[in-house]
Chains A and B, each alone.
Chain A
Amino acid sequence: MSAATLYGLLACALVGIGLYGLAVRPEPLRKVLAFNLLGGGVFLLFGVFARRGAGAGFAGDPVPQALVITGLVVSFAATALAIALVLRLRDETGDAALDAGDGKAE
């Protein structure tokens, strides 16, 4: 098994765990963590492509690495925003359930 295949399988496993967590865990914080796992899986995939050097025929393609770095920044910002919202929601309500009330309460 080549390193690229192993990374690819790992990426798939991370994506799977992330999706499972997002679907099944009701707590927003766990959802945020699951999202991070999901994102990690995808970034790993970019790493595989960088390794393979799909781009201009380099041994290690720099473009996916640049993409991953940008993606990490974006995902960090997303996590920060989500955590801020979760904290604020807990301050206001005491718990932070997602499906309760659902904006219908007056």
Chain B
Amino acid sequence: MSASGGFLLVLAIMLPAGGVLVAVATGGRIARLAALALLPCGLVLAVAIAALIRTGGVPLEYRVGGWAPPLGVALRADGLSAVMLLITAIVIAGIALFARDYFPADAPDETERRAPFVFWTLLMGLWGALNAVWLGADLFNLYVALELLTFGAVPLVSLDGKPDTLRAALRYLLFALIGSVLYLLGVGLIYGAAGTLDIAQLAAMPHTAPVFAIAAALMTAGLLAKTALFPLHLWLPPAHAGAPAAASALLSALVVKGSFILAVRLWFDALPGAMGPASAQLLGWLGAAAVVFGGAMALRQQRLKLLVAYSTVGQIGYLFFLFPLAFGAAASDPAAWRDLAWTGGIMQVVAHAAAKAAMFMAAGLIGEALGHDRIDGFGGLARALPVTVFAFGLAGMSLMGLPPSGGFVAKAMLLTASVAEAQWWWAVAILAGGLLAAGYLFRVLGPAMAAAAPGAPPVAEIPLRRQAVVLGLAVFALLLGLVPLRPSPLLDIGRATPPLVLAR
């Protein structure tokens, strides 16, 4: 509870928010400069917070204005927050470096300058909103952060202003808003029953009353809508495929994770035991359906960006194996396996963030170089853009779960937990998902490695610098494969109780 540490938490939200203010006030070029200047600060901040938590072994907390909950609002950073702050800073840095040339500052006329301005401003805005989601210690504050996230994400979808992307953005917004209302309804019920919304205070009180289960169910459903878990994925493919590559990377890698982590907080931190193992199983089954359905749909796509978007639908499914596995099927399961599932699930969040960001940016470069993203027209790509195709392949390794990669570590942990807890059905889904991923990724790599079709239009040059950024993120996803296959001590910090199945 050190004051200096708490100050860092405020900075993590206020720095990007300040960047937004500066950008709005000055407009144009400054937005880009402000965002690029924020990158090193944000990275250092995330590292500092993680280091403080790691060395201290306890979460950091900051009470805004010195007011104690339930009247005041607190920010809190535990191990999970630290990991999410770090991966957010890393992925956003990658995206910003990539977008430096994608959204240049010196467009000739005013309307063309608007998209870069919006992008750079919203990049900072989303960064602040994400950090607020990772650090929020109070369910209502988290609602506000979640809404900021949605409001930042929606305009990014329709940055090009075409009817299709406008429609996709509107669908995204409306469905996300319904999710928000459900979440808010749950918040109201919880406040009505408990008189507080502070996560730590909620965790400390008994919550076996039915109203908590109903509230948690409503909130979870709302969060699933924002995470686009199958069958609530209606908005994701057109939105993520239609956005510009840098924005898609941001949306797919980080934004959908915001609502997911919030669901995790709700189930494991705020109301442990309010939801029974049966509903955890339901989430797992929806995840399994997402893995299979998203993978199969990705296999059917003719356009690369849609393929990558459907791959996100599938990969999101893996995240939800965390619920049944970290809950445990039986109270007799040793906590070690549940901890492993916990680490594995968060590892999947992190690995997918890095790999998917790299993959969307690679898809963007490919689209730029070819002028289209139809997979059957990819002949000669590997020779024209070797670094990009290589990066795509490396990111794909992580999605397939091949060693050494973060995806492999996540998958191996989840598999181990599902075997150890005798919930073998998740293992089947995990392996089936890997198979489908191999199918859809090699469906891209095959044509890309083939020779160019005779008469194919020339491939535009892409500066090596931009390809290198994509490669950097893909290599990072690979290096995550060096994480040891055991429960992470960092992720354990601040988990008041290991997620036990409480008797209801």
Q: Is B256 an interface residue (CB 8 A)?
A: no
Chain B neighbourhood of A104, CB < 8 A: 238
The proximity string for A residues 86-106 relative to B, scoring 1 for CB distances below 8 Å and 0 otherwise, is: 101100110011101111110
Known interface pairs A81-B151, A101-B163, A103-B165. Does A54 touch B174 (Cβ–Cβ under 8 Å)?
no
Known interface pairs A78-B151, A103-B241, A103-B242. Does A54 touch B171 (Cβ–Cβ under 8 Å)?
no
Q: Is the CB of A105 within 8 A of B191?
A: no
Known interface pairs A39-B181, A82-B173, A101-B163. Does A63 touch B71 (Cβ–Cβ under 8 Å)?
yes
Among residues of B, the one whose C-beta sits closest to the C-beta of A84 is B155
Residues of B143-161 whose CB lies within 8 A of A: 143-144, 147, 150-151, 154-155, 158, 161
Expressed in whole angstroms, the Cα–Cα distance for A82 and B163 within the complex equals: 14
* A-side interface mostly: helix
Q: Is B237 an interface residue (CB 8 A)?
A: yes
* B-side interface mostly: helix
Chain A neighbourhood of B163, CB < 8 A: 89, 92-93, 101
24 contacts between A and B (CB under 8 A): A15-B185, A18-B181, A22-B178, A31-B174, A35-B177, A35-B181, A49-B191, A54-B193, A64-B191, A71-B143, A78-B147, A78-B150, A81-B154, A82-B173, A82-B177, A85-B158, A85-B173, A89-B163, A92-B162, A92-B166, A93-B163, A101-B164, A102-B164, A103-B165
User: Which A residues have a C-beta under 8 Å from some C-beta of B?
Assistant: 15, 18, 22, 28, 31-32, 35, 38-39, 42, 45-46, 48-49, 52, 54-56, 61-64, 67, 70-71, 74, 77-78, 81-82, 85-86, 88-89, 92-93, 96-98, 100-105
User: Which B residues have a C-beta under 8 Å from some C-beta of A?
Assistant: 70-71, 140, 143-144, 147, 150-151, 154-155, 158, 161-171, 173-174, 177-178, 180-181, 184-185, 187-189, 191-196, 237-239, 241-242
Chain A neighbourhood of B191, CB < 8 A: 46, 49, 54-55, 63-64, 67
Q: Is the CB of A82 within 8 A of B170?
A: yes
Expressed in whole angstroms, the Cα–Cα distance for A78 and B209 within the complex equals: 33
Closest 4 pairs between A and B when the two form their complex, measured CB to CB = A103-B238, A49-B192, A89-B166, A92-B163
Among residues of B, the one whose C-beta sits closest to the C-beta of A18 is B181
Q: Is the CB of A54 within 8 A of B167?
A: no
Among residues of A, the one whose C-beta sits closest to the C-beta of B178 is A22
Q: Is the CB of B167 within 8 A of A63?
A: no
Expressed in whole angstroms, the Cα–Cα distance for A31 and B242 within the complex equals: 23
Chain B neighbourhood of A46, CB < 8 A: 188, 191
Q: Is the CB of B144 within 8 A of A74?
A: yes
Known interface pairs A78-B173, A103-B165. Does A35 touch B178 (Cβ–Cβ under 8 Å)?
yes
CB of A64, distance to nearest CB on chain B (Å) = 6
